Amino acid sequence: MKLKFKRLILFFVLVYLFTWSFWGISLLDSQNIIDSPIPREIFGIIGAFGPSIVGLIFLVRFKNRKFLPILKETFIMKGKLFWKLFAFLFMPLVLFVSYIVSHYLFSVEYTLEWFKTPLLIPIVYFYILILGGPLGEEIGWRGYALKELLNKFNPFVASLILGVIWTCWHIPAFFIEGSAQEGISFYLYFINTIVLTLFITILFIKTKFRISSGLYFHASANFALGIFYIIDEPLGLLFVGIFMIASIIYLLFKYRTVYFQKIDETLLVAV
């Protein structure tokens, strides 16, 4: 167990080193400290793949996993229909309902640029899925790290630990011009990431520990925030927060035996 935990610490260290090395170049370029001949966005995308690249190496090297089964687990979901729909639709519904309430009941006006070109919306989703973070992160965060944390902690504690690490991993992005995190409150981002991690953890467990559950929930969350961009308005942000916090409190209560009891380690062994 001590060896496994040391490997997990090594995983996190290597992920940070990989990502922050590339994001560091992007940061220096955005601050005009260096003049990179390569667009800083390229370094941003490469750095974002740090968790999955390191996670894939660790799964193959230390878990004796084969590449093709990992790939299958990354894209194919298992479990009940409810949880599959939850992965794809929950966050879009949160943003949509928040938009409806704030716009029609409180007369908050939004631009919603993407709805002016609706045919591009599916393309946006697939771009986010592949290059916008989820594919670059989830093999590592959920496929390797969360499973290892669940071997030692209950799902609630494991989620808090991973949520903090996931949040702090993004820190350089807050200072890179043009990044998704630029201009966002770190404290609100921190809370949001913790809550998202708690959502993904219950989804991960209920879909038989498939990487795909994290991949699609993560992609749908990023997609919804981009399409229904309402969080720059205080009321829009408020209602998103209310719905997310209320939902996670409900799930923590309903599935308290899942969140607060340690999972049988045999269930975490890959088939």
85-144 per-position pLDDT tens digit: 999 999 999 999 999 999 999 999 998 888 889 899 999 999 999 999 999 999 999 999
- Using 50 as the pLDDT threshold, list the residues of the chain that sit under it: 271
Structural domain for 107, as ranges:
2-268
Q: What integer pLDDT is reported at residue 1 of this predicted model?
A: 63
pLDDT tens for 98-109 read: 999 999 999 999
Cα gap 99→231, rounded to integer Å = 10
DSSP character for 146? I
pLDDT at 271: 43
Q: Total domain count for the chain?
A: 1
Rounded Cα gap, residues 225 and 231, in angstroms? 8
Distance of CA 93 to the CA centre of its chain: 17
pTM: 0.95
In 3D space, the residue among 159, 185, 156, 158 whose CA is nearest the CA of residue 170 turns out to be 185
Token pair belonging to 246: 């209320």
Quick count: other Cβ atoms within 10 Å of Cβ 11? 20
Q: Which tokens belong to 245?
A: 């916090």
Residue 39 backbone phi and psi in degrees, to 5: -55, 135
Collapse the DSSP code of 162 into the 3-class scheme (helix H, G, I; strand E, B; otherwise coil) and give the result. helix
Instruction: Judge whether 218 and 200 are in contact, CB under 8 Å.
Output: yes
Per-residue pLDDT at 116: 87
* pLDDT of 270: 52
For residues 138 and 142, what is the distance between their CA atoms, to the nearest angstrom? Answer: 5
Question: In this structure, how many other beta carbons lie within 10 angstroms of the beta carbon of residue 68?
Answer: 8
Nearest to 201 by CA among 217, 220, 189: 217
H or E element, residue 99: helix 81-100
Alpha-carbon distances, residue 86 vs 13, 221, 234, 243 (angstroms): 32, 11, 26, 15
